[in-house]
Structure 1
Amino acid sequence: MRRGARITPTQKRSRERMERILSVATELIAATGSDAMRMSEVAERSGISIGSLYQYFPDKRAIIAALAERYHETSRACISEDLADVQTLGQFRDAFSALIETYYQLFLEQPAMRDVWSGTQADKTLLDIELLNSRENGDLVASTLAKLMPAADEAALATKAFLVMSLGEATMRLAISVTPEEGRLIVETYKRMALKELTSK
């Protein structure tokens, strides 16, 4: 079940309805922001009654939580896949840089992501979801580095990776809020700083 959702859709029709709700919500957030999104408009554009919408999501926060979890799932899948075959620190540097580029492109191509992430900052429950995501992504990075640097302190690696992945979220929000030229410089600076810290012994 997605975090915040009231029911777990098992039938095809229910799954399709939930996907439609989340798709409509994404479009509305991209157009006007999460603050302006109204449950009544989500229901209307999804072609369902407001009562049916509340059966899936009790409030707007639950929709944002579900979208945040969807983005989390995408990021975890990318990290797992790209780090799976890493055997050397050189390969790790290349893979990590590619991951940051992929994530940056996701933010650029999906403007709703920025607003969803911004919405998580003002809500304790949603912020906990983001922190969990950063920790899980950090664990993936730390476990890879532990294999490449067996003499390194694993607890220190975990802390550094957690911090780097958490700062990555803030970096992307900042990078797409400024000019493309400055955004590119911010991303490149983050990659250099992150890799220097992650691979230092």
Structure 2
Amino acid sequence: MPNPANVRTEPVQQRSAERINVLLDAAAVLLDEVGIDALTTSDVSKRAQSSVGVIYRYFPNIQSLLRGLASRNFDKYRAGLSATLNKRATNALDALNVAIDVYIELCRTEPGFRVLSFGNIIDRRFNVDRKSNNTALAEILTDLLVTTYEVPASDALAFDIEVTVEIADSLLERAFLYDPRGEEPFIDKLREFIAQLLAPHTKEAATA
């Protein structure tokens, strides 16, 4: 799971936390407007009506600022997933489809999310030596299927869910590449693939 690495000053007061959110909000909007390559701390400070010095108080460079935004994206995704699962998911396949739905909704409504998501693009660019964000998400989803939906735990399940997350990452990135609402054929194909990959594990659960 991504975390805001290299934050120089831990926000211990509400005012500091609010200031960080203002900076992250500004960066998110700019990501949609100019893209990740053109984003600068100077632009973020202007959009946030702040100063570059304030940014550097919390983030030593643009990469750490983006990781902070990626971490907030991940938190919003987990919160949305938690809030939606109990209302809509009655089985393991429902749960994975909800996971897709929550991600899609964030792509459509959350500034900067389509560009940055959980920050994998940052890690690919800067060779961060830590667990992949997709691996972390796969672990969360695997634990969810095992503990909540009684899918038998196995190495095969863990691997298949990690494969699912990697393919979902690619297909959803493509779905939103040209269409801010997401191209449905790619999303539909992802749901088909997930159903096929999960089927052997849920059959095992039914016969256990």
What secondary structure is seen at the aligned counterpart in 1 of 2:200?
coil
Cα 1:65–1:182, aligned 2, differ >3 Å: closer, same or farther?
Answer: closer
Cα 1:144–1:114, aligned 2, differ >3 Å: closer, same or farther?
Answer: closer
Q: 2:125 aligns with which of 122, 130, 134?
A: 122
Gapped runs of 5+ residues in structure 1? none
2-structure distance, mates of 1:141, 1:74: 16
Match of 1:112 in 2: 112
Cα 1:21–1:180, aligned 2, differ >3 Å: closer, same or farther?
Answer: closer
Cα 1:115–1:180, aligned 2, differ >3 Å: closer, same or farther?
Answer: closer
Amino acid at match of 2:79: A
Question: How far apart are 1:184 and its partner, in Å?
Answer: 0.6
2-structure distance, mates of 1:191, 1:183: 13
Question: How far apart are 1:119 and its partner, in Å?
Answer: 3.6
CA contact (8 A) 1:2 1:69 kept: yes
Match of 1:175 in 2: 175
Greater helix share, structure number: 1
Match of 2:204 in 1: none
What secondary structure is seen at the aligned counterpart in 1 of 2:11?
coil
Question: How far apart are 1:72 and its partner, in Å?
Answer: 1.5
Matches within 5 A, 1:84-99: 91-99=91-99
Amino acid at match of 2:56: Y
Question: How far apart are 1:83 and its partner, in Å?
Answer: 4.9
Question: How far apart are 1:4 and its partner, in Å?
Answer: 3.2
Cα 1:45–1:86, aligned 2, differ >3 Å: closer, same or farther?
Answer: closer
TM-score in terms of structure 2 length: 0.79
How many residue pairs end up in the alignment? 194
CA contact (8 A) 1:160 1:197 kept: yes
2-structure distance, mates of 1:110, 1:181: 12
Cα 1:31–1:155, aligned 2, differ >3 Å: closer, same or farther?
Answer: same
CA contact (8 A) 1:7 1:56 kept: yes
Q: 1:74 aligns with which of 73, 76, 81?
A: 76
1-structure distance, mates of 2:23, 2:71: 15
* Structure 1 position 9 matched with structure 2 position 30: no
Match of 1:136 in 2: 136
* Structure 1 position 189 matched with structure 2 position 181: no
Q: Sequence identity, in percent?
A: 23
Cα 1:30–1:104, aligned 2, differ >3 Å: closer, same or farther?
Answer: same
2-structure distance, mates of 1:98, 1:146: 16
Deviates more, 1:174-183 or 1:102-111: 174-183
What secondary structure is seen at the aligned counterpart in 2 of 1:5?
coil
Cα 1:49–1:82, aligned 2, differ >3 Å: closer, same or farther?
Answer: closer
What secondary structure is seen at the aligned counterpart in 2 of 1:200?
helix
Gapped runs of 5+ residues in structure 2? 202-208
TM-score in terms of structure 1 length: 0.82
Cα 1:154–1:80, aligned 2, differ >3 Å: closer, same or farther?
Answer: farther
Cα 1:179–1:15, aligned 2, differ >3 Å: closer, same or farther?
Answer: closer
CA contact (8 A) 1:79 1:99 kept: yes
Amino acid at match of 1:122: R
Question: How far apart are 1:124 and its partner, in Å?
Answer: 1.6
1-structure distance, mates of 2:179, 2:44: 31
Cα 1:178–1:200, aligned 2, differ >3 Å: closer, same or farther?
Answer: farther
